[in-house]
Amino acid sequence: MSKITIAIDGYSSCGKSTLAKALAQKLNYSYIDTGAMYRAVTYHFIKKGIIQNNNIPDMPRLLEELKHVVVYFQYNSQTRVSETYLNDENVERVIRGMDVAQNVSKISSIKEVREKMVASQREMGKHKGVVMDGRDIGSHVFPNAELKLFMTADTDVRTQRRLNELSSKGEYYTFEEVKQNLEKRDYEDTHRKENPLIKAKDAIVLDNTDLGKEEQLEFVLKLIDDLLLTQDEFKAVTKLH
Ligand code: DC
C-alpha cells in the first residue's frame, strides 16, 4: 500500500501529538513532533543565556549559536516513542516545562530559526510514511500532503489537559496561569509574520472537545482508508486508459 504524508496542525494542547503518535504506531509510519524541535532550540538559547524570560533575545549571538544547533529524533524501543535530541543531549523531558513554553513562541517566530527547522522537517519527511504535527505543516512544510488535519478544542478543556500534563511531571500551576500561557501562545502563533498557524484550505477540521482518543483515531483511520481507496481506484482507472 502506498505511503502518504499526514500533516496535523492546530492550537496548543489540542492533543495533536497524542493522535499523531497513535496514527504513526497503527500505520507503522514515523512521527515527527515539530513543536519539540522549536522547544529544543528555545531550551538551547535559555541554557546559553541568550534569552531570559520575556527579554528580547540578543540576535547576533542567537544567529551565531543557531549554526551549532542540531535537533533530531531517536526511537526509544522501551518507551516506543521517538525522543528529541539537541546535539547529543536527550531533551525529551526538559523541553516540556513552563520556562520553555513561555519563550518558545518568540523563538519560533524568528525567520532564520524557522528556515532551519523547516529544511530539516522536509528532509525527514521526504520519503512519505510520516505523521508530522505542528502549526504550519499543511500550509507550508508539506503543502502537498495527502491528508491534512486542523485540530481545535475548547480553551478550558485544553487548559485542563495541559494542567494535568504539567502536574503529572510535578510542575504545579493554577488553571489561570496555564490558560493565559495557552492563549498567549495561540495569539502569537496565529499573528506572527513567518508561517503563522492557519488552517490550510484543504484541511479537515477536527474539534475534539468532546471526543476521546479512540474516537479520534477511528475517525482519522477511516479518512485514510477512504483516501487510499480513492487513490487505488484512480490508479486502476488510469492504468485501463
Ligand atoms: O506543539 P507545541 O506546543 O509543542 O509547540 C511549541 C511551540 O512551537 C508553539 O507555541 C508554536 C511553535 N511551533 C511552530 O511555530 N511551528 C510548528 N510547526 C510547531 C510548533
Bridge partners, residue 72, by sequence? 85
- Going by alpha carbons, the residue nearest to atom 11 of ligand 1 is 105
**Which of 94, 104, 105, 110 most suits a substitution to test ligand 1, by most atoms within 8 Å of the C-beta?**
104
Index of the ligand 1 atom closest to the CA of residue 189: 11
In this structure, which amino acid lies at residue 30?
S
Each domain of the chain, given as residue ranges in start order, spans: 5-240
Report the C-alpha gap between 39 and 145 in whole angstroms. Answer: 24
Strand order in the sheet with 130-134: 30-33, 130-134, 5-10, 147-152, 204-207
Distance CA 92, CA 85 (A): 7
Cell 515527527 sits on residue:
32
Report the nearest-CA residue for atom 7 of ligand 1. 35
Average pLDDT over residues 39-61: 88
Residue nearest to atom 18 of ligand 1 (CA): 134
Overall average pLDDT of the 221-237 stretch: 84
Read off the pLDDT of each residue in 170-198 and give the average, rounded to a whole number: 94
User: What are phi and psi for residue 83, nearest 5 degrees?
Assistant: -100, 150
| Mean pLDDT of the 218-235 span | 88
- Ligand 1 centroid distance, CA of 104 (Å): 7
Which pLDDT belongs to residue 225? 95
pLDDT band at residue 81 using 50, 70 and 90 as cut-offs: confident
Percent with pLDDT over 90 in the chain:
83
- Ligand 1 atom 2: the closest Cα is on which residue? 35
pTM of the complete model? 0.93
CA of 135 to the centre of ligand 1 (A): 6
Ligand 1, atom 4: closest residue by C-alpha: 35
Question: What is the overall mean pLDDT for the chain?
Answer: 93
Which CATH architecture is the domain 5-240 placed in? 3-Layer(aba) Sandwich (3.40)
Residue 26 pLDDT grade (very low, low, confident, very high; cuts 50, 70, 90): very high
234 pLDDT tier (thresholds 50, 70, 90): low
Enumerate residues lining ligand 1, CB below 6 A.
12, 34-35, 38-39, 104-105, 108, 134-137, 185, 189
Closest CA to 124 of 191, 1, 37: 37
Please report, rounded to a whole number, the percentage of residues in the chain having pLDDT higher than 70: 96
Dist. CA 11 → ligand 1 center (Å): 9
Mention every residue, 6+ apart, whose C-beta is less than 8 A from residue 119: none
Q: Say yes or no to pLDDT of 166 above 70.
A: yes
The average pLDDT across 172-178 equals 96
Which DSSP string do the residues of 141-201 spell out, in sequence order?
I-TT-SEEEEEE--HHHHHHHHHHHHHHTT----HHHHHHHHHHHHHHHHH-SSS-----T
Q: Which amino acid is at 141?
A: V
Atom 14 of ligand 1: nearest residue by CA position:
135
Q: Is the pLDDT of residue 235 over 90?
A: no
Nearest alpha carbon to residue 60 among 102, 114, 110? 110
* Per-residue pLDDT, 240: 63
Report pLDDT for 1.
66
Rounded Cα distance, 170 and 175, in Å? 15
Say what the pLDDT of residue 231 is: 79
User: What's the mean pLDDT in 102-109?
Assistant: 92
Does residue 175 have a pLDDT over 90?
A: yes
Instruction: State pLDDT tens for residues 134-158.
Output: 999 999 999 999 999 999 999 999 9
Cell of 108: 519560533
